[in-house]
Chains A and B, each alone.
Chain A
């Protein structure tokens, strides 16, 4: 049961919030906000993946952010060129906390910003020559790089540069993959198209181009869609190893060019961030016959469910081993819940994030006795909302690409105890006196994935909600 408010009451709140808009925008926005209703199958499927209304302070980013910031950026031994003016690269520099092992500037380049620094003359005369020279120079300065990607910013597509030709030419010269990525920010309606474009560029320019030098095992799997924020992919990798699986590739946090290239050797693809990487899983299924399975590593309930689901693709040996791993972690999970649940029981959570988190984290909150009463996505598609419907309680408000205004309204009308969203939203709620956690970057904490991540998640939610400083907002003075 949800927070005691009925579906009708929630719908009324939604209607009230929307009244502020001009007519056209109101009608448009109304399609994007729903209230979950078990009587009405698929009622979570609000309108999605369409253009944001101009001027409304959307929380979305762009295709470049989806490719460079999310999918390609974490591939650690590859130099990612932000091709165009200086800004996009600068703002996405080292900002998603994609952890990796390696020596910066020698074997790994994730937390560096390489920009072709377009000037007016480049816009007028084109940037292909400059890009060619840049790639040659970078390969000399960083001889241990395993490849280069060209992440296009807006002007590249507009002036019609032939970055594909540059990629082919320079790749032959340096003897390494050079991958052109047409992720200009004006393409599509959000980050989402950038994910797809990045997946396609890996498909077309990388996948299957190299192999690991062994025969493989029946237990070879690839982890797809974990960006290793605060070490998420590592706490995930640890569990798969303990289950007896051999992870041959991480996509893309702490990942390498070789891992991307030899992924078709996996027997099963395990996908966490479905939104950003389902494309490549579908491709590998079609082309190489590799099945894929979605999993959710937030909170013990979902972790255990996911581990068993994954194990079911393998033999008894793996299934037995999986049970042992679950059993081994049980005391730690119990201790975490015993400690934190009493402090968090009944707290109401409102989420707005990207990718998988608006639905995947619900189970983790529920493990701690908390309720997610409103949730939604920056850039989801129909299939994300179908999946969300299975996770939410009755009368949960579901919003797609909500504006900053809508969120603030919901936060105050729904008696929320914790908001989980991004940096742009965070301080608004601090002013309002509402506890907040960044659920893109884990507020510089983490990992949140896996058994080792859950205590961190629980501690962080507790510290956010129960810090005594919130009580000081109320002044003792007369106004």
Chain B
């Protein structure tokens, strides 16, 4: 009895001092469940779980790391496990929110928008406003026109946008809602004024991925709003970032162009929209490309897209309809940034100022200083096509060796471009490009052909921990580290950031694994 009570008290208090001593040792999930009473509880629970015997579990676990498993795993087709891609409307609303006072509206079942908003909020740690037409069973039968009409009316009254950019979900696409004719009807009915911009895009979730959704929405907005012909000369160039989730990247591009004194329009500028200051008031539209600038975009001297695979249809419009020079130039890594700045110079006649050249010198200096820790490091990467191309180019510049390059949402063009990039460097010779594959495939690849470093989004931490390979978080989404998206990975500063992240991760790992005699204080 006494023993029971004492045991209970120990268990209950769990090391917490009694009242009056002034301290409470708060144990949350990080420490609480390692306590003995919880360990016992977990052990006992197995009785009710029909738990597999441990020997068998170990056997299967080891098997999943084998070549035999790898072959079985790589055979699977038509379904994905831990894919690195999302669906079209997510990219669509990111493109839309890059324009000032623009409300993204997603036509379909309302759960989609809840998911998109959560996803972006988790990455940016920012509000992401977007509305839904909230279609339910009745819309599945009768179509979503009524829903869209009311959605526009309510959204206008409540959120007072200057533009509403509409994209579809798989539901609207499957039932075949015709947004073009709906909108025409609304204008004729007088529900929506003639001059309210309502660009819309088809963004079915069962085609492509979020990068295609970005492209479709960006193209729709440009096609709808920037109709002017190139009759007046403009000194401006347009920049289209692509599906870029680094607010720091957009700020860095603007800084470089400002330093070069180049007049430009950044089309779809999410830098302020998704990185707004805390000033005590909430503004729903804190940034974005001003709509008058958008409307003049067709008159620009040229357009540079910073990503290829998320802007293909958009860039087609630029070259065919706007009759502009349409260049793709990814400013990731030193050579990528060199090429971008040269392109800007060529298009505008502006020189690259000394200040930028010094920045280049600094990053090259840093790369020289760190090369011993990057040279020959074997790397596995996963992410969107354009991110992979840029980061791979950078890895080749510092003598690292990409080994597995996995791209769930790439295509053959991407594969060819990547392979030709790799073929151009002695450090690219051992790489294999896996298009259409996912993180569960990548798991098999790194267990059978290990690497020193992983590069990709937060979900890669699963493999990082299990395979004991350090992870450098680059790409989207990054949910589990704060503020990374504020640091650019483009431009020379971005190259320096990438270098710092990579080299310090390598050093951290060296320390973590170093025997006492190699635990050096100077590296």
Contacts and interface: CB of A to CB of B under 8 A. Distances in A.
Q: Do the two chains bind?
A: yes
Interface of A: 20-22, 25, 51-65, 77, 84-88, 90-95, 99, 101, 103-107, 111-120, 122-123, 130, 133-134, 137, 140-141, 143-144, 146, 153-155, 157-159, 184-189, 191, 210, 212, 230-231, 234-235, 237-238, 241-242, 247-250, 254, 256-259, 262, 324-325, 328-329, 331-332, 334-336, 338-340, 403-405, 408, 422-433, 445-447, 451-452, 455-456, 458-459, 473-475
Interface in B32-57: 32-33, 37-38, 41-42, 45, 47-52, 56-57
Given A259-B48, A427-B126, A86 B85 contact: yes
Contacts of B12: 242, 325, 328-329, 332, 451
Given A256-B49, A257-B50, A133 B133 contact: no
A90 B81 contact: no
- Most chain A CB within a 10 A radius of its CB, from B78, B89, B117, B276: B78
Given A155-B206, A187-B137, 7 more contacts: A54-B148, A55-B155, A58-B134, A141-B72, A230-B28, A336-B24, A455-B27
Contacts of A133: 78
B222 to A, nearest CB: 24
24 contacts: A22-B154, A22-B157, A56-B158, A60-B114, A61-B111, A87-B87, A91-B86, A106-B57, A112-B440, A113-B83, A117-B80, A154-B108, A154-B171, A157-B140, A186-B136, A235-B32, A259-B48, A332-B18, A424-B127, A447-B28, A451-B12, A452-B32, A459-B28, A475-B279
A187 B125 contact: no
Contacts of A458: 26
Contact of A88 (B115, B122, B152): B115
A282 to B, nearest CB: 23
B174 interface: yes
A103 B61 contact: yes
Contact of A123 (B33, B116, B174): B174
B170 A154 contact: yes
Contact of B466 (A104, A137, A331, A408): A104
A328 B280 contact: no
A335 B76 contact: no
B280 A473 contact: yes
Contact of B114 (A340, A424, A427): A424
A61 B115 contact: yes
A185 B79 contact: no
- Most chain B CB within a 10 A radius of its CB, from A77, A106, A134, A338: A106
B268 interface: no
A7 B136 CA distance: 36
B29 A231 contact: yes
Contact of A332 (B16, B108, B116, B151): B16
B150 interface: yes
- Most chain B CB within a 10 A radius of its CB, from A113, A258, A445: A113
Interface of B: 4-5, 8-9, 11-14, 16-24, 26-29, 32-33, 37-38, 41-42, 45, 47-52, 56-57, 60-61, 64, 69, 72-73, 76, 78-83, 85-87, 89-90, 105, 108-112, 114-119, 121-122, 125-137, 139-140, 147-148, 150-155, 157-159, 169-171, 174-175, 204-207, 209, 276-283, 440, 443, 459, 462, 466
Contacts of B9: 328
Given A58-B132, A87-B87, A249-B48, A335 B159 contact: no
Contact of B206 (A105, A119, A188, A324): A119
Contacts of B206: 84-85, 118-120, 122-123, 155
B131 A106 contact: no
B121 A153 contact: no
Given A90-B86, A114-B81, A455-B24, A155 B170 contact: yes
Contacts of A58: 110, 114, 132, 134
A94 B282 contact: no
The 4 nearest A-B residue pairs measured at CB: A62-B111, A87-B87, A55-B151, A91-B115
A86 B205 contact: yes
A90 B111 contact: no
- Most chain A CB within a 10 A radius of its CB, from B48, B57, B440: B48
Contacts of A63: 111
B50 A258 contact: yes
B83 A143 contact: no
B513 to A, nearest CB: 23
B459 A117 contact: no
Contacts of A61: 110-111, 114-115
Contacts of B155: 55-56
B73 A62 contact: no
Nearest to A254: B45
Contacts of B105: 55
A95 to B, nearest CB: 7
Contacts of A237: 41, 45
B28 A101 contact: no
B124 to A, nearest CB: 8
Contacts of B131: 54-57
A143 B60 CA distance: 8
A95 B114 CA distance: 13
A86 to B, nearest CB: 6
Contacts of B16: 331-332, 335, 455
Given A21-B157, A154-B169, A117 B5 contact: no
Given A115-B83, A137-B79, A141-B76, A431 B133 contact: no
A52 B134 contact: yes
A325 B8 contact: yes
A117 to B, nearest CB: 5
Contacts of B280: 431-433, 473-474
